[in-house]
Amino acid sequence: MLQLHRFTLTVSGLALAMCVFLYATLGAAKPFDLWKWTDIVSEGGTAVMAGCWLLFTLSSRPGGLVTRLLAGGLAMIMIGSFADCMDEFYAISKAARWDHWLESLVPLGMLFITGGMYYWRHEQFRLNEHLQKRERLFRDHRAFDRITQLANADYLRRQIRHEQQHRAGQPCALVLLDIDGFHRINREFGQREGDRVLQAVGHMLLLNLRNDDLLCRYAGDRFALLMPDTSAAEADALARHLVGMVGQMRHHAKAGRVHISMRQATASAAAPPDELLAELSRQLSLQAEQCAAGAVA
């Protein structure tokens, strides 16, 4: 991750080197007995800690506004504290304004960090909402798919039964979504790229769902969507929207763009889970056969 922030690290390193150069060339070295060790430890320690926090931030975050604000603020505090520390080793003329400007970077850095934390707070709210869609108000997710990190078919069956037993009489719909020609993607681009396609499609679907909807990887290239308090007609309309969103994705592999499309089957979640899933799978297979026949014709 640090490789993504080489410019920031380079500028920060050059700024520290410039501080040393300025104090060494424009200041007068103080005798050893005038060094104030308490100030050296506190100001130098602040610079070291700010530098460590800067590295932690850059090594754990991608680029963006929040990262720029946090990293910029920490770099300013590091440089300003380092300048404070250099004052203990070199005497600078009171007429020199640049020394005060360097030291004023500390409060300015705090202002930048405050702005970064403000936007980071909004970022966390969005992430928490995204995670809620994965949890669907249940805390017992143990059966996750390794590739997509979505719940698997066993968990889906349990939740269908949960809806039928505890919310009897309430509308509930199940949608099965299938990626068209996924075997072709694996053959042309490789299995690793196929896994990336599954991950990308899973993220796209999650971003367009309600918090109470449950998205699972049912099998292979098929995703299942359980939608409480939703009629089959409403679920089918949403499924068509999701299929359209996936169709507009621009997924790029090393060998070129991967064109992704999906088809869907929808039903009311009233039948036993295995029967329901088998019927939806049959509908998807029939659609695939019809598409293949149409292509041949």
The H-or-E segment that residue 219 falls in is strand 214-219
Decide: residue 30, CB within 10 A, 0-12 exposed, 13-18 middle, 19+ buried.
middle
Q: What is the pLDDT of residues 89-99, one digit of tens each?
A: 988 887 778 88
Find out whether 172 and 268 touch, Cβ atoms under 8 Å.
yes
- The residue ranges of every structural domain in the chain are 2-133, 142-296
CB proximity list for 200: less than 8 A, separation 6 or greater? 249, 251, 260
Helix (H, G, I), strand (E, B) or coil at 176: strand
Beta carbons of 155 and 143 less than 8 angstroms apart: yes
Contact residues for 18 (Cβ-Cβ < 8 A; gap 6+): none
User: What is the arithmetic mean of pLDDT over 270-295?
Assistant: 84
Single pTM value for the model: 0.54
Q: Residue 113: its pLDDT value, please?
A: 94
Percentage of the chain beyond pLDDT 90 is 39
Q: What is the pLDDT of residues 220-236, one digit of tens each?
A: 899 999 999 999 999 99
Mean pLDDT of the chain: 86
Report residue 140 as tokens. Answer: 């017992």
Tell me, which fold does domain 142-296 have in CATH? Alpha-Beta Plaits (3.30.70)
Q: What average pLDDT does the segment 209-216 reach?
A: 88
Would the pLDDT of 33 be above 70?
A: yes
